Amino acid sequence: MAIPKDKALFDYAVRLADDQLVLGHRLSEWCGRAPTLEEELALANMGLDLIGQARSLYTYAGEVEGEGRDEDALAYLRSEREFANMLLVEQPNDDFAHTMVRQLFHAAFMTPYWEAMTGSADATLSGIAGKAVKEARYHLRHSAEWIVRLGDGTEESHARTRAALDHLWVFTGELFEMDETALSLLDRGVAVDARALKPEWDRAMNETLARAGLDRPGEIAMLSGGRTGRHSEHLGHLLAEMQYMQRAYPGMTW
């Protein structure tokens, strides 16, 4: 594979797409398993938003690369080590509390992220951001409402939500990391400075957790590695299922 014309931009769009696709896929795994019919629809909604964002981003990445790879080539024909999503989004659904905490962590970041991205010097990314920001706001509102309900619901729901917070907290450091790729695009006015979004994320977290009557987990050593393809063992199984058809029947149109 040749080096794309703008490797940094390609990588940046792909990792952003990977984040949304992997999380969207996780949400789609809930199909037929949600705690209420209304929530069945809400989970599918969020999943659809994320998969839609991923499609736009992969398509754009393919254009930037200029090698003829389309959204499906990028989604279905890259290996676990090539996927660059953050670790948070690949964590299993586990129970509903884990799913909603994961969503809250992600949406509380993506909301200011897409807001900032609307000002990107890259017209395509800012265009995608314009649509995505509304979706992220809904995801944030929806997940925050659930965290409040679960935190302030029953003893069991409180305990489960606390366990989910404690378990997933370690993956939140990666949200705010900036590597060379991101920094170089920040210089060009294309990327968002993730580090600068921490205060707003903290505010959303503190406010939601306070309303939910849940303690914010203490500071601990964070895990990261997703951006360089160092994933947890969960991603490989997700990809084996997701990519099966494209791997088993290569080169066909569906």
Partner 1 sequence: EAFLEAFQERIDREEKIEPNDPMPEGYRRTLVRQISQHAHSEIIGMQPEGNWITRAPSLKRKAALLAKVQDEGGHGLYLYAAAETLGVTREELVEQLLQGKAKYSSIFTYPTLSWADIGAIGWLVDGAAIMNQVPLCRCSFGPYARAMIRVCKEESFHQRQGYEIMLTLCNGTPEQKAMAQDALDRWWWPSLMMFGPHDSESQHGDQNMAWKIKRFTNDALRQKFVDATVPQAEFLGLKVPDPDLAWNEEKGGYDIGPIDWDEFRSVLKSGGFCGRDRIRNRRRAEEDGAWVREAAAAFAEKQATRQADAAAA
Binding mask 49-78 for partner 1 (x = CB under 8 A): --xx-xx--x------------xx--xx--
Binding mask 223-242 for partner 1 (x = CB under 8 A): x-x---xxxxx--x---xxx
Contact residue for a second copy among 88, 240, 253, 254 (CB under 8 A): 240
Token readout for 168 is 């997933």
Judge contact between 245 and 254, C-beta under 8 A.
yes
Who contacts 45 (Cβ-Cβ below 8 Å, separation ≥6)?
A: 138
Phi, psi dihedrals of residue 118, rounded to the nearest 5°: -60, -20
Pick what 253 binds: partner 1, a second copy, none; C-beta below 5 to 8 Å, kind-dependent: partner 1
Judge contact between 222 and 173, C-beta under 8 A.
yes
Helices (H), 29-67: 37-65
Three-state SS at 52 = helix
Four-point Cα dihedral 162, 164, 170, 175, nearest 10: -110
| Interface contacts to a second copy, rule CB under 8 A | 79, 237, 240-241, 243-244, 247-248, 250
| Interface contacts to partner 1, rule CB under 8 A | 21, 25, 28-29, 31-41, 44-45, 47-48, 51-52, 54-55, 58, 71-72, 75-76, 79-81, 95-96, 148-150, 152-154, 156-157, 160, 167, 170, 220-221, 223, 225, 229-233, 236, 240-242, 244-246, 249, 252-254
